[in-house]
Amino acid sequence: MTTINLPEAGEPGLEGTVNLADIETLGRLRLDRNALEYYASGANDEVTLRENREGFRRLRLRPRMLVDVSHVNTHTEVLGLPLGFPVGIAPSAFHGLADPEAELATARAAAAAGSVMTLSTFSNTPIEDVAVAAAGRFWFQLYLYTDREVSADVVRRAEAAGARALVLTVDAPFLGRREPNERHRFTLPPHLSVPNAGTREQLAQLESERGSQLVNYFQTLVDKTLSWSDLAWLRSVTTLPIVLKGILTAEDALLAAQHGCHVWVSNHGGRQLDTAVSSVEALSEVVDAVAGRTEVYLDGGVTRGTDVVKAVALGARCVFLGRAALWGLAAGGEAGVRRTLDLLHGEVRLAMALCGKQNVGQLGRDLLRS
C-alpha cells in the first residue's frame, strides 16, 4: 500500500497552516517517493512548470482607494452552477495515492466549499460514487479512447450520474516525458485501480523493465488521431456542455468557439510540452479570440488569492486547482482539501477588498499592469 507518513513529533499539523505553501510542505512530507514524484513532476526541465507560477508573479495589481469594501461578494457561476468564489478543482489522476478515500474526499470538500470538482478519467473511484459525494457539483474529464464505444459508455455513465459538463483534454495525444517517473518507474500500487479507464489486470499486463507504467498504458488507450472533426461525434453521444482543456493560442480558442465549446486554458500543469507558454500568459489572447462567445477557465500555477484575482481580471470565469488540491488531500484528506479552499477563499476576499473591488464582476484588465 502507499505509505502515508504520520507527522513527526513537533511537525506542524493542518491546523497550523496559514497558506497553500504550508499545506504543500505538509502534503509532501506525507507522501512516499512514488506518489510525490508523480504529483510533483513536470516535463523535461520543468521550465513551463516554473513559469506557471512566475507568470502570475510578474503581473502587478493597480488597487483603487476610498471604496466601500465592508461587504465583498466573491460569488460567481460556471455554466449556470453557482460558486462561492471563482475556484474549482482540476482533473488529476490517482487521488488514492494521497488518501485512502481518494476522490471521494476531494469531492466532499469541493461540495462543502460551494466549489466544483472535475473528475479525472484516471480516478481511483468510480464515477457514480464520486457523483454522490460531489452532491451534483462535478464535471467529468475525458480522454478519447481508440475504442470509441468505450468512450461513449464512459460519457453516458458520467451524464447519467449527474455530471454538469464534459471536459475533453486535447493536449495529450502522447504523455509528456516526466523524467522522475521514467527514472524510478512510476507504478500504481496494487490496492488501487482505474475503474473508469480499465482494469487492474490491464495495467499489470503493461509492466515493463523500464519507464512509467502510466505512459505504457496511456499509449495504448488514447486516440492519437483526435481532431476538430471528432467533436461532432462527441456531441452525438452527450447533451452536456463540452469544455476543451489544453488550449493555449488564439487560433485554437477561435476554433473551439466556432465548434460551440468552452475553453480551458492549460498546459497540463507543465507536464506535457516543456517551454510552452504559461497559462496566465496565454489567457489574454484566448479571451480576446472567443470575444465572450464561450466561458474561459484556467489552471496552472495558482497558489494565492491574488493569482485568482489576476486571472479573473484577465477574463477567466474561474480558475482550477491541480496540485494544490492534491497537496491538501495528502496533508489531511477531506479536511486538507477544505482547508486549501478556505484559505484561498479568504485570500481572494482580502485581495478584492484591498484592490477596491466589491464583487467579481468589477475585476477587469484595468486592475493589472504587466
- E runs forming strands in the chain: 60-61, 76-78, 81-83, 87-89, 117-119, 138-142, 166-169, 242-247, 262-265, 296-299, 318-321, 368-369
How is residue 73 annotated by DSSP?
A: B
| Cβ atoms of 192 and 38 closer than 8 Å | no
Give a yes or no: residue 150 inside a domain: yes
Give how far Cα 366 sits from Cα of 40, 65, 310, 312, 339, Å: 34, 14, 11, 12, 31
* Phi, psi at 84, each rounded to 5°: -65, -30
In this structure, what is the dihedral angle of CA atoms 13, 14, 15, 17, given to the nearest 10 degrees? 100
| Angle (CA) 45 49 53, round 5° | 140
For the domain that residue 109 is a member of, what is the CATH number?
3.20.20.70
Report the C-alpha gap between 284 and 52 in whole angstroms. Answer: 15
Give a yes or no: residue 72 inside a domain: no
Low-confidence ranges of the chain (pLDDT < 70): 1-12, 198-215, 370
- 302: amino acid identity, one letter: V
pLDDT at 198: 62
How is residue 114 annotated by DSSP?
A: T
pLDDT at 238: 98
pLDDT at 197: 82
| Cβ atoms of 154 and 123 closer than 8 Å | no
Who's near 50: CB < 8 A, 6+ residues apart?
42, 270
Give a yes or no: residue 362 inside a domain: no
Q: Known binding site for FMN: residues?
A: 91-93, 120, 141, 169, 245, 266, 322-323
- E runs forming strands in 47-173: 60-61, 76-78, 81-83, 87-89, 117-119, 138-142, 166-169
Burial of 91 (0-12, 13-18, 19+ CB in 10 A): buried
Q: Known binding site for glyoxylate: residues?
A: 38, 143, 178, 268, 271
Could you tell me the three cell numbers for 34?
512514488
Q: How many CB atoms lie within 10 A of CB 361?
A: 11
Q: How many CB atoms lie within 10 A of CB 165?
A: 23
Give a yes or no: residue 209 inside a domain: yes
pLDDT at 357: 98
Give a yes or no: residue 69 inside a domain: no
Give a yes or no: residue 3 inside a domain: no
Given the residues 71, 95, 184, 268, the one annotated as active site: 268
Total domain count, the chain: 1
pLDDT at 216: 72
Strand partners, 140: 119, 166
pLDDT at 9: 38
How is residue 91 annotated by DSSP?
A: -
Tell me the pTM. Answer: 0.94
Give a yes or no: residue 86 inside a domain: yes
Clarify whether 71 is annotated catalytic: no
Structural domain for 192, as ranges? 14-60+80-354
Give a yes or no: residue 68 inside a domain: no
Report the C-alpha gap between 117 and 122 in whole angstroms. Answer: 14
Q: Known binding site: residues?
A: 38, 91-93, 120, 141, 143, 169, 178, 245, 266, 268, 271, 322-323
Report the C-alpha gap between 288 and 228 in whole angstroms. Answer: 21
Burial of 209 (0-12, 13-18, 19+ CB in 10 A): exposed
